A = this chain, B = another copy of it.
Amino acid sequence: MRIVLDVMGSDGAPGVEVSGAIEALEEFGDHVEIVLVGDRALMAPELARHGALPAGRLHIEHAPDHVPVGAAPSSVLRKHPDSSIVRGLQLHKEGHADAFVSAGSTGAVMAASLFVLQALEGVDRPAIGTMLPTARQPVLMLDCGANVDCKPHHLVQFAHLGRIYAEDLMGRTRPRIGLLNIGEEPEKGDELALEAHQRLSRESGLRFVGNIEGRELIQGSCDVVVCDGFCGNVVLKFYESVAQFIMGMLRAELGELAERPEIDEVFRTLDYSEYGGAPLLGVNGVSIVCHGGSSPKAIRSAIRVALQSARSSMVDHIARELSSKEPV
Residues of A within 8 A of B (CB): 70, 134-135, 145, 148-149, 180-182, 185, 189-191, 193, 213-219, 228-231, 233-243, 245-246, 248-250, 253-254, 257, 260, 262-263, 265-266, 269-270
| Contact yes or no, B263 A180, CB < 8 A | no
A148 with B190, Cβ < 8 A, contacts A231-B231, A245-B218 known = yes
| Contact yes or no, B241 A214, CB < 8 A | yes
Q: Which residues of B contact A149 (CB under 8 A)?
A: 190-191
Cα(A242)–Cα(B242), bound, Å:
8
Contact of A234 among B134, B235, B243, B269 (CB under 8 A): B235
| 6 closest residue pairs by CB, A with B | A214-B237, A214-B238, A148-B190, A253-B262, A215-B241, A215-B237
| Contact yes or no, B249 A269, CB < 8 A | yes
Q: Which residues of B contact A134 (CB under 8 A)?
A: 245
* Further contacts, 17 of them, CB under 8 A, given A182-B237, A190-B230, A215-B240: A135-B245, A145-B182, A148-B193, A180-B234, A181-B234, A214-B237, A214-B238, A216-B241, A231-B234, A235-B238, A239-B242, A242-B243, A246-B246, A250-B266, A253-B266, A254-B263, A257-B257
Chain multiplicity (copies): 2
Cα(A246)–Cα(B253), bound, Å:
16
| Contact yes or no, A266 B246, CB < 8 A | yes
User: In the assembled complex, how far is the CB of residue A106 from the closest CB belonging to chain B, in whole angstroms?
Assistant: 10
| Contact yes or no, A182 B249, CB < 8 A | no
| Contact yes or no, A189 B254, CB < 8 A | no
Q: Which residues of B contact A237 (CB under 8 A)?
A: 182, 213-215
Q: Which residues of B contact A269 (CB under 8 A)?
A: 249
Q: Which residues of B contact A238 (CB under 8 A)?
A: 214-215, 217-218, 235, 238-239
Cα(A248)–Cα(B214), bound, Å:
18
User: In the assembled complex, how far is the CB of residue A91 from the closest CB belonging to chain B, in whole angstroms?
Assistant: 29
| Contact yes or no, A148 B246, CB < 8 A | no
| Contact yes or no, A241 B218, CB < 8 A | yes
Contact of A243 among B241, B246, B270 (CB under 8 A): B246
Closest-by-CB residue of B relative to A232 is B182
Cα(A199)–Cα(B99), bound, Å:
43
Contact of A229 among B182, B234, B253, B266 (CB under 8 A): B182
User: In the assembled complex, how far is the CB of residue A77 from the closest CB belonging to chain B, in whole angstroms?
Assistant: 18
Q: Which residues of B contact A189 (CB under 8 A)?
A: 148, 230
Cα(A249)–Cα(B250), bound, Å:
14
Cα(A257)–Cα(B180), bound, Å:
35
Closest-by-CB residue of B relative to A135 is B245
Q: Which residues of B contact A135 (CB under 8 A)?
A: 245, 248-249
User: In the assembled complex, how far is the CB of residue A127 from the closest CB belonging to chain B, in whole angstroms?
Assistant: 14
Cα(A238)–Cα(B243), bound, Å:
13
Cα(A135)–Cα(B238), bound, Å:
13
A193 with B230, Cβ < 8 A, contacts A145-B182, A237-B213, A254-B262 known = yes
| Contact yes or no, A242 B218, CB < 8 A | yes
Q: Which residues of B contact A260 (CB under 8 A)?
A: 254, 257
